[in-house]
């Protein structure tokens, strides 16, 4: 109990830093949630591609092409002189496709010269450009077919648009086999980013408090008391858990105040909160282990970033889990964040997977196993250190 | 001045844990990025799409079967077709054995599962295929009614293998993965984390914060010279450590950064300068303890890195499109953008503007910090 009290006495010294971290990380978490939650759609739609056109022809024919593509995809307007801006937006994924319509495009169409009639530039890594290519090819194929059938260019343009618009009316049937969340609610993203924020916050704010116990004088004073090593470790560990539970309550409450749960059922939120609570225990035990190494402030920042950012990129916090290759997910299985994100994906419906209580509990169990492992490491390090001190 | 630099280096080198982690930070995180993004999008590739096909006993079944056969045979097949009844097809779709169900007829219809959101790209490819097939069917049907004598010509047009829309890349390295930007962000973050070195310099010159500062304060050395020497020593030290990380990222992880090596190293050096001076500036604020100041530095640099797109790649360009002024003064974004310009552009005007801004920020931070440290006296220590 004495160590438990000492923990909070020391934490008072760090309260200002903790508050700064809490406010900054909370703002980051809400900003990330807001940025990602607004992009998605719930039902199946053929992926729309963000594209732009550099039109040097400015004719009825070139406008007809732009109009047709804009109906199906999202046209992003740029000043066509500003090539740097177009390049930057394509590199940073704001647009995926650039069409360049040369001067004399309409004349070429009239002459029936369809080969290399326009050019494009697209991101090589994504399949989105592939079906955009298919759409353009369909357009020119329809146009060339009408042209071959003896239709004038003006009529061919109109007929092509009509036939392609008619085809779009043939909607895709979406079948639902298992009821899942629609994958667009902000709560899913809020708890997804919780995984990174928690590691960064705990290692940055709680680890220095725990490290204070490793300072020679304080450690020596504690070690000469009548308490058993195990009791001392339990005291510090309980303090850390109480500290982190307060933090967890604040984060969950902040989500409620900022309206992150407005679109979900209370049951889903309870499951998400439960998952995050178990993850919290894992990170507390991880922090206890890291703090046992008595790292300085700078080293601790670097270590927290390596653990926080590294595990977040590997386990699907910043990029969807299903986009990572199989090899990466095989490695990620050895990290607790992976099992936390798996549960969160299932609850939020990010991958269309339905909620299965058995799977949820299994993932919770695996997280608890990590917590037990970290706790064992902590006890071993702590008890060995206590014994070493008692030898002095 | 050289003597002070030498002692600073000695002191920094003796702090083995910090040296070890500064050195290891870009190496470990870079390796983890490489693992995560090395085969990124592998699941998004356009490999064979399994699909179920239900024949609805219509006139066009024969043509449709022929086309499906063509698309599912050979080395570059893109479909794997299973012909079955509607019930079987739905069962296969529910078990996620196929990506979609194709129903023959005029028009051909497509069904997909809502529970297979991870296969959205493949579903979209199927939809594009169905649309194209329906378009051809509709155009031929229309021509058959209006100008049947043209059908043969149209058939010939359809069989021609014409490229309408060739690819002309706009970038300097079109083959470069867009995930390279995370490595640019990482290097920018490593540069900004040198601000902790600046905090050390500030604390070593505030006698109320360290014993070393007390000794320095009573030494006869001219104070600005001592501080400049210490700042320079810290910057060089951190630059060397970060450069090792950069070389690892370039040559071991083979991230394309090295083709303008001198300019890239210059960017790293300027990045370390701005990092150290930012830390020095924050360190000179108030009388807080070193750990609290280190915490403040981290609390400042992390949001800057977030705004440059470290966690969500699109953030940087979104700010560029809506509030570019933020990108012009955010050191993390200026550094990330400089690495990006070096890698993707032949014209380096913007790169030089970034460098000038970073040097300007370095001078500004240092001047403000010097202004705060001057004429400080202590009645009692």
What DSSP assignment string belongs to A67-123?
A: HHHHHHSEE----TT-HHHHHHHHHTTS--EEEEEPTTHHHHHHHT--TT-SEEEE-
Does residue A160 have a pLDDT over 90? no
Q: What does the DSSP assignment read for A196-242? A: HHHHHHIIIIIHHHHHHTTSHHHHHHHHTSSS-HHHHHHHHHHHHHH
Q: Of B95, B126, B159, which residue sits at a domain end? A: B159
Together in a domain, B195 and B273:
yes
Interface contact flag, B193 A302, Cβ < 8 Å: yes
**Arithmetic mean of pLDDT over chain B:** 84
Provide the pLDDT confidence category of residue A41 given band limits of 50, 70 and 90: very low
**Given this model, what pLDDT does residue A379 score?**
82
Does B172 map to a domain? Answer: no
Tokens of residue B180, six digits: 């390279």
Q: Give residue B8's domain range.
A: 2-40+177-373
CA distance A226 to chain B (A): 32
Q: Which residues of chain B does A125 touch, with a Cβ-Cβ cutoff of 8 Å?
A: 40-41, 177-179
Same-domain check for residues B105 and B253: no
Residue-wise burial string across B294-309, b where 16 or more C-beta atoms lie within 10 A, e elsewhere: bbbbbbbbbbbbbbbb
CB A51 within 8 A of CB A75: yes
Q: For B273-326, what is each residue's pLDDT tens digit? A: 999 999 999 988 877 777 778 888 888 898 999 999 888 888 888 888 888 899
B107: nearest Cα among B87, B136, B86:
B136
The domain tally of chain B equals 2
For A346-376, the DSSP string reads HHHTTTSPPP-HHHHHHHHHHHHHHHHHHHH
- Strand, helix or coil for residue B271: helix
Residue in A closest to B172 by C-alpha: A87
Identify the residue whose tokens are 């004349």. A107
- pLDDT at residue B9 greater than cutoff 80: yes
Contacts of A156 in chain B (CB under 8 A): none
What residues of B are in contact with residue A14 (Cβ under 8 Å)? 291
CB half-sphere exposure, A22, CA atoms < 13 A: 17
Same domain, B89 and B17: no
Which helix (H) or strand (E) element contains residue A54?
A: strand A50-55
pLDDT, tens digit, for every residue of B32-45?
888 888 766 555 55
Query: Given phi > 0 = left and psi -120 to 50 = alpha, else beta, which region is A58?
Result: left
Whether chain A has a CB inside 8 Å of the CB on B14: the answer is no
Q: Which residue of B has its CA nearest to A180?
A: B115
Quote the CA–CA distance of A251 and B175 in Å, as a whole number.
Answer: 42
Supply the DSSP string of A247-296, one letter for each residue: HHHHHHHHHHHTTTTTTS-HHHHHHHHHHHHHHHHHHHHHHHHHHTT---
Res A256 pLDDT > 60: yes
Nearest residue, CB atoms, B41 vs list A120, A150, A323: A323
Q: Which of B171, B182, B230, B175 is nearest to B202 (CA)?
A: B230
Here the tokens at position B281 are 């500036």
B113 to A177: CB separation less than 8 angstroms, yes or no: yes
Give mean pLDDT, residues B233-258: 87
For residue B70, what are the contacts with CB-CB under 8 A and spacing of at least 6? none
Q: Is the dihedral of CA B88, B90, B96, B100 positive or negative?
A: positive
Answer whether residue B380 is part of any domain: no
In DSSP terms, which residues pair with B232 in a beta bridge? Answer: none
> What torsion, rounded to 10 degrees, do the Cα atoms B277, B278, B284, B290 define?
-110
Q: Are B84 and B92 in contact (CB under 8 A)?
A: yes
**Beta carbons within 8 Å of B246's beta carbon, 6+ residues apart:** B26, B187, B257, B264, B265, B268
State the CB neighbour count (10 A cutoff) for residue A307: 23
**Percent of chain A predicted with pLDDT > 90:** 16
- Could you read off the pLDDT of B171-209 as tens digits, one per residue? 777 777 777 888 999 999 999 988 888 888 888 887 777
Residue B99 inside a domain? The answer is yes
- Same-domain status, B76 and B25: no
B306 touches chain A (CB under 8 A): yes
Nearest-CA distance A134 → chain B (Å): 7
Q: In terms of CA atoms, which chain B residue is nearest residue A39?
A: B314
Do residue B201 and residue B102 come from a single domain? no
Interchain pair A164, B170: CB under 8 A: no
pLDDT band at A367 (very low <50, low <70, confident <90, very high): very high
Q: Look at A298 and B38 and tell me if their CB atoms are within 8 Å.
A: no
Residues B140 and B185 in one domain: no
- All CATH 3.40.190 domain ranges of chain A, comma separated, are 48-179
Interchain contact, B21 vs A178, CB within 8 Å: no
Q: What is the C-alpha to C-alpha distance for residues A65 and B166, in angstroms, rounded to an integer?
A: 16
Question: How far is the C-alpha of B204 from the C-alpha of B217, rounded, in Å?
Answer: 9
Asked if B29 lies within 8 A of A351 by C-beta distance, the reply is no
Residues 19-58, chain B: which have Cβ within 8 Å of A? 20-22, 24-25, 28-29, 32-33, 35-46
Smallest CA–CA distance, residue B220 to chain A, in Å, is: 31
Backbone angles phi, psi at A119, to 5 degrees: -130, 165
Q: Is 0.85 exceeded by the ipTM? A: no
Nearest to B375 by CA among B256, B229, B224: B224
Q: Within this chain, do residues B27 and B120 fall inside the same structural domain, yes or no?
A: no
The alpha carbon of residue B39 is apart from the nearest alpha carbon of chain A, in Å, by 6
d(CA A281, CA A276): 9
The pLDDT value given to residue A43: 47
* Percentage, residues of chain B above pLDDT 70: 95
> Which residues on neighbouring strands pair with residue B53, listed in sequence order?
B83, B102
* Angle CA B124–B130–B131, to nearest 5: 90
- Would an 8 Å CB–CB cutoff place B97 in contact with chain A? no
Q: Which residue has the tokens 């609390």?
A: B299
Q: Would you call A131 and B124 a contact, using CB atoms and an 8 Å cutoff?
A: yes
Minimum Cα–Cα distance from A301: chain B residue: B298
Q: What angle do CA B268, B271, B276 make, to 5 degrees?
A: 125
Q: Nearest CB to B21: which of A43, A131, A302? A: A302
B237 touches B12 (CB < 8 A): yes
Record the tokens describing residue B177, joined without a space.
Answer: 């993965």
CB of B196 within 8 Å of any CB in chain A? yes
| Residue B4 neighbours by CB distance under 10 Å | 19
Give the chain A residue nearest B131 (alpha carbons): A167
CA distance B307 to B170: 26
Best probe of the B interface among A24, A35, A46, by most B CBs < 10 A, is: A46
Main-chain phi, psi angles of A74, to 5 degrees: -105, 115
State residue A42's pLDDT score. Answer: 41
Q: Are residues B30 and B109 in the same domain?
A: no
Q: What is the mean pLDDT of residues A21-25?
A: 86
* A182 CB-contact burial (10 Å; exposed 0-12 / middle 13-18 / buried 19+): middle
Residues 340-379 of B with CB under 8 A from A: 340, 344-345, 350
Q: What distance lies between CA B260 and its chain's CA centroid?
A: 19
User: Does the pLDDT at position A11 exceed 70?
Assistant: yes
DSSP state of A46: P
Binary contact (A318, B311; C-beta < 8 A): yes
Instruction: Give the integer Cα–Cα distance in Å for B356 and B354.
Output: 5
Question: Is residue B128 a part of any domain in this protein?
Answer: yes
Q: Does residue B2 sit at the A interface (CB-CB below 8 Å)?
A: no
Please name the residue of chain B whose CA is at the shortest distance from the CA of residue A354. Answer: B115
Residues B190, B292, single domain; the answer is: yes
CATH of A48-179, one of 2.60.40, 3.30.2010, 3.40.190, 1.10.10: 3.40.190
C-alpha span between A270 and A276 (Å, rounded):
10
| Domain match, B33 and B58 both | no
Angle between the N-to-C axes of helices A266-291 and A229-257, in degrees from 0 to 180, rounded to the nearest 10: 140
Closest-CA residue of chain A to B28? A306
pLDDT tens digits along B79-94: 888 888 889 999 998 8
Clarify whether residues B276 and B311 are in a common domain.
Answer: yes
Per-residue pLDDT reduced to its tens digit, B119-172:
777 888 888 888 888 888 888 888 777 777 777 777 777 777 788 888 887 777
Taking the Cβ of residue B178 and every Cβ of chain A, the question of whether any pair is shorter than 8 Å is answered with yes
The phi-psi region of residue A239 (left if phi > 0; otherwise alpha if psi is between -120 and 50; otherwise beta) is alpha
- Which of B299, B149, B260 lies closest to A25, judged by CA? B299
Residue matched to tokens 């998605």: A40
Residues of B in contact with A43 (CB under 8 A): 114
Does residue B240 sit at the A interface (CB-CB below 8 Å)?
Answer: no
Is the confidence at residue A346, as pLDDT, over 80? yes
Considering the domain architecture, whether residues B83 and B113 belong to the same structural domain is answered as yes
Q: Report the alpha-carbon distance of residue A336 to residue B203 in Å, rounded.
A: 38
């Amino acid at each position: 109990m004495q160590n438990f009290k000492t923990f909070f006495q020391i934490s008072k010294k760090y309260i200002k830093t903790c508050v700064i971290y809490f406010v900054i990380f909370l703002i980051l978490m809400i900003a990330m949630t807001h940025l990602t939650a607004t992009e998605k759609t719930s039902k199946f739609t053929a992926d729309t591609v963000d594209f732009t056109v550099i039109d040097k022809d400015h004719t009825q024919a070139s406008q007809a092409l732009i109009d047709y593509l804009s109906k199906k995809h999202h046209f992003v307007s740029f000043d066509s002189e500003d090539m740097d801006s177009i390049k930057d937006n394509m590199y940073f994924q704001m647009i995926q496709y650039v069409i360049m319509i040369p001067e004399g495009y309409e004349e070429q169409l009239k002459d029936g010269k369809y080969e290399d009639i326009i050019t494009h530039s697209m991101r090589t890594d994504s399949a989105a450009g592939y079906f955009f290519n298919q759409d353009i090819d369909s357009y020119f194929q329809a146009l060339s077919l009408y042209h071959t059938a003896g239709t004038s260019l003006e009529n061919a343009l109109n007929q092509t648009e009509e036939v392609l618009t008619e085809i779009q009316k043939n909607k895709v049937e979406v079948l639902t086999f298992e009821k899942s969340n629609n994958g667009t609610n902000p709560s899913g993203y809020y708890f997804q980013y919780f995984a990174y924020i928690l590691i960064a916050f705990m290692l940055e704010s709680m680890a220095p408090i725990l490290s204070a116990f490793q300072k020679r004088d304080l450690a020596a004073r504690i070690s000469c008391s009548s308490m058993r090593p195990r009791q001392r470790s339990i005291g510090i560990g309980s303090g850390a858990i109480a500290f982190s539970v307060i933090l967890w309550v604040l984060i969950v409450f902040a989500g409620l105040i900022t309206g992150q749960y407005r679109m979900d059922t209370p049951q889903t939120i309870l499951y998400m909160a439960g998952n995050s609570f178990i993850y919290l225990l894992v990170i507390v035990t991880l922090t206890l282990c890291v703090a046992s190494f008595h790292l300085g402030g700078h080293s601790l920042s670097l270590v927290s970033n390596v653990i926080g950012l590294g595990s977040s990129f590997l386990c699907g916090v910043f990029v969807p889990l299903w986009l990572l290759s199989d090899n990466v997910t095989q490695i990620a299985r050895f990290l607790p964040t992976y099992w936390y994100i798996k549960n969160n994906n299932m609850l939020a419906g990010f991958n269309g997977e339905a909620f299965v209580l058995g799977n949820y509990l299994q993932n919770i169990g695996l997280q608890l196993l990590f917590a037990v492992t970290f706790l064992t490491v902590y006890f071993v390090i702590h008890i060995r250190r206590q014994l070493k001190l008692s030898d002095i | 001045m050289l003597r002070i630099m030498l002692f600073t280096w000695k002191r920094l080198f003796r702090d083995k844990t910090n040296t070890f982690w500064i050195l290891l930070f870009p190496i470990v995180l870079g390796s983890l990025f490489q693992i995560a993004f090395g085969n990124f999008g592998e699941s998004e590739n356009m490999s064979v799409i399994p699909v179920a096909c239900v024949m609805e006993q219509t006139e066009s079944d024969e043509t449709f079967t022929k086309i499906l056969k063509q698309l599912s045979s050979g080395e570059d097949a893109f479909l794997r077709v299973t012909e079955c009844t509607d019930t079987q097809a739905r069962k296969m779709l529910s078990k996620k054995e196929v990506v979609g169900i194709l129903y023959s007829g005029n028009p051909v219809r497509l069904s997909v599962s809502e529970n297979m959101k991870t296969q959205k790209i493949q579903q979209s490819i199927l939809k594009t295929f169905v649309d194209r097939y329906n378009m051809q069917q509709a155009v031929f049907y229309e021509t058959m009614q209006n100008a049947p004598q043209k059908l043969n010509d149209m058939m010939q047009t359809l069989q021609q293998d014409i490229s309408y829309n060739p690819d002309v890349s706009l970038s300097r390295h079109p083959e470069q993965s867009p995930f390279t930007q995370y490595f640019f962000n990482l290097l920018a973050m490593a540069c900004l984390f040198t601000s902790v070195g600046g905090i050390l310099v500030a604390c070593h010159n505030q006698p109320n914060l360290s014993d070393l500062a007390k000794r320095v304060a009573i030494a006869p050395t001219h104070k600005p010279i001592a501080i400049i020497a210490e700042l320079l020593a810290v910057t060089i030290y951190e630059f060397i450590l970060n450069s090792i990380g950069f070389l690892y990222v370039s040559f071991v992880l083979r991230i394309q950064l090295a083709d303008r090596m001198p300019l890239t190293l210059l960017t790293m050096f300027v990045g370390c300068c701005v990092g150290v001076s930012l830390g020095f500036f924050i360190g000179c604020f108030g009388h807080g303890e070193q750990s609290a100041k280190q915490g403040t530095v981290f609390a400042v640099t992390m949001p800057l890195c977030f705004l440059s797109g470290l966690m969500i790649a699109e953030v940087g360009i979104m700010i560029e499109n809506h509030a570019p002024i933020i990108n012009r003064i955010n050191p993390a974004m200026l550094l990330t953008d400089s690495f990006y310009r070096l890698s993707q552009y032949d014209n380096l005007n913007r790169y030089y503007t970034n460098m000038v801004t970073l040097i300007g920020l370095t001078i500004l931070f240092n001047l403000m910090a010097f202004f705060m440290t001057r004429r400080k006296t202590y009645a009692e220590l």
